[in-house]
Amino acid sequence: MTTLVLLRHGETLLTPQRRISGSGGSDPGLSPAGRRQARATADALARRGGIEAVVTSPMRRCQETARSAAARLGLSVQVDRDLREADFGAWEGLTFAEVRERYPDDLSAWFASPESPPSGAGETVQQVTRRVAAVRDGLRARYAGATVLVVSHVVPVRTLLRLALQAPPHSLFRMEVAAASLSTVTYEEDGTATVRALNDTHHLD
């Protein structure tokens, strides 16, 4: 059995404002609250034990979160560009309320179809799914039978969970993945996936 422990990065200054922060805009680091979350998560992962590798998105907030965990676990950090957040095009930096006001038709189309991009040539859900699925397959092959910490963002983490559940694309918008939350998916040798945990934030209490 191969296990992927999915960790969303800790908070940035944009997170409490619920502003969209993808790979097409700014690349904020962790806020003071986010750094505290990263340390608490690292402690929880150390208590859990058994993690043999740490792989992260290249974006600052993920690398900072991953480095905190890896230092506590005595592991190095590997960066995989395809774990980056979706590119939200013209929606970067806006709240969804602002997007709904400025780009109502584009937002409706994005929610309705995984092939519809955000305004301004952003990345479709389908495009994100392809690259994230490729990362998953690569990790399963490279770390067969091991447990890997994957540090990423809302859309990639939700995508891995959706694929594990074999759920339709619109289910992506029906999951909560909070900052510094942990979710876990296991994979049998035949590829059968099981979601063992979703949006666990107990370590932040």
Domains of the chain from N-terminus onward: 2-204 (3.40.50.1240)
Q: Which residue has the tokens 């402690």?
A: 43
Q: Which residue has the tokens 């301004």?
A: 120
Considering the chain, what is the average pLDDT of its residues? 97
In the prediction, which pLDDT does 25 show?
85
Question: What pLDDT digit, counting tens, does each position of 1-45 carry?
Answer: 999 999 999 999 999 999 999 999 889 999 999 999 999 999 999
| Residues catalogued as catalytic | 9, 85
Q: Which of 122, 189, 150 is nearest to 6 (CA)?
A: 150
In the prediction, which pLDDT does 144 show?
97
Question: What pLDDT digit, counting tens, does each position of 59-91 carry?
Answer: 999 999 999 999 999 999 999 999 999 999 999
In the prediction, which pLDDT does 26 show?
87
Residue 105: Cβ within 10 Å count: 8
Give the predicted TM-score (pTM) of the model.
0.96
